[in-house]
Amino acid sequence: MKDLKFFGIVMMLVMGMSFASCSSDDEGGPSSGSIKENLEGEWFLVSEKEVCSEDGITYTTWDYDDQTAGGVCSEGCTDHDPKKLYIECIGENTYEVTWSYYYNSRWYIDESEIFEIDGNVISEYTEEYGGDVYSEKVYIKSVSANELVIVEEAKDVYEDGRAHNDVETYTYRRNN
């Protein structure tokens, strides 16, 4: 289930990239130049944290900063399968993103898609179902030569007025 949720988040990352370019309206996140200059390459997931609004506690659902330069675990992955993104610029503002996971001594490709990037907002949408409203925003919080941080903010507002907010932060390290 955790892998399915992670895959869904990464899908939101990539789907949202179709709404992006390298303009300067990036809502206070990284400059579009830094995104364009630093986004390409191989990124290993090293941390996934979730903050739930109901209790304010930060839940660490993925915290494995143990990949070697080749992406495999330095101690052998007995409790998790490493995950990575490979991002390649294939046009002016167009990127191909490939998701992979390491299992049984080899890398497997989950999926590959092509998207455009515009600023730091990857995806933003709202949908209604029944009397409830769900909204979500996925954006690049920061990107540097060695680290990529992606944030997903999700909010459910229920018909009876209750609300539930979650903020998930995914940190990736570049394969040097």
116-144 pLDDT per residue, tens: 777 887 778 899 988 899 999 988 899 99
Domain boundaries, the chain: 2-174
What's the pTM? 0.71
- Tell me the CB-side half-sphere exposure of residue 61, using CA atoms within 13 A: 16
Interval 12-29 mean pLDDT: 42
140-167 pLDDT per residue, tens: 899 999 999 999 999 999 999 888 889 9
Indicate if the alpha-carbon torsion angle 37, 42, 46, 47 is positive or negative. positive
Rounded CA separation 82/100 (Å): 9
39-96 pLDDT per residue, tens: 899 998 888 888 887 766 777 676 766 555 555 565 556 556 788 889 898 888 788 8
